[in-house]
Amino acid sequence: MEYSPSILILEDDPAGIRLITRKLEIARGDFIIHSTRTRAQFIEALKTQSYDCIIIDYTLPDIDGLQALRIAQELAPTTPAIIFTGSVGEEKAIECMKAGAYDYILKTNSSRLIAAVLSALEYKRLRLEKLRAEEELRRTHQQLIDILERISDGFLALDADWKVTYINKRGAQLLGKDADEFFGKVFWDIFPDSIGQPFYEEFVRALNEQKRLYLEEWYAPWRKWFETRIYPSPDGLSVFFRDVTDRKHSTVKKEEQN
């Protein structure tokens, strides 16, 4: 079933409502058209239903176009609003655009109305698609964060300038700090003793050569063994690591016993 766009009109003159309705119906027969004539009706309509486009007369007895635009921005922030009026000076027109009007059209140039409405509908469609994509990206990102916080390995993300863009709680714990101490800081500034260690050299090699690396190395400053998997991209590194000191000691003892 095809979608029928819903249009809300704020106009106190019945003749003006008929003019807009007739133009919309001629242009496209499936518009669902709602009209309001007062401030109270306009607010009630916006609170009880969603619309794809709003057409506002600038001058009404109990509300003006700027007030109506601000109400629309508050109650229907994703819905484009068009000022369609008999008289509005250039200064008022500029105020309307600054207040968030999608367009303003003089009734003496009413032939522009339909093109403006169709453009506004496309604008809203694209805007909603963008908002849905951003929300989906946000959910996906949060799902990834949830997974990284549940794993037993430490996880560290570095950008191409070695700044920490993310570290999970387990990673911060393994490195002896709080997660908040890492974000936005250069990793080697946090651990300057790492420079010159095998970890440093392998991190640099992974980034420069864009090569996935696995290493199991002794970190002398902490007297610990770490197992590390490094996954590079042009934007930086993703690193999974764990403390394997106990396992290494156990292996050495078994070898000595044999």
For 67-91, what is each residue's pLDDT tens digit? 999 999 999 999 999 998 876 677 7
**pLDDT, the chain, mean:** 90
Is there a single domain that holds both residue 13 and residue 129?
Answer: yes
Model confidence pTM above 0.85: no
Give the whole-angstrom CA distance, residue 192 versus residue 206: 19
Domain count, the chain: 2
Is there a single domain that holds both residue 195 and residue 95?
Answer: no
**Which residues on adjacent β-strands are paired with residue 157?**
166, 238
Is there a single domain that holds both residue 86 and residue 178?
Answer: no
Domain that includes residue 222, residue range: 151-257
> Is 144 among the domain residues?
no
Is there a single domain that holds both residue 125 and residue 209?
Answer: no
Out of 87, 103, 134, pick the residue that ends a domain: 134
Q: Express as a percent the part of the chain with pLDDT over 70.
A: 95
> Is 194 among the domain residues?
yes
> Is 143 among the domain residues?
no
Q: 194 vs 157, 164, 198, 200, CA distance in Å? A: 17, 15, 8, 6
Is there a single domain that holds both residue 105 and residue 171?
Answer: no
Is there a single domain that holds both residue 92 and residue 43?
Answer: yes
User: What's 84's domain CATH number?
Assistant: 3.40.50.2300
Out of 100, 134, 168, pick the residue that ends a domain: 134
pLDDT, tens only, 177-221:
999 999 999 999 999 988 888 889 999 999 999 999 999 988 877
Is there a single domain that holds both residue 104 and residue 166?
Answer: no
User: What's 186's domain CATH number?
Assistant: 3.30.450.20
Asked if 194 and 200 touch (Cβ cutoff 8 Å), the reply is yes
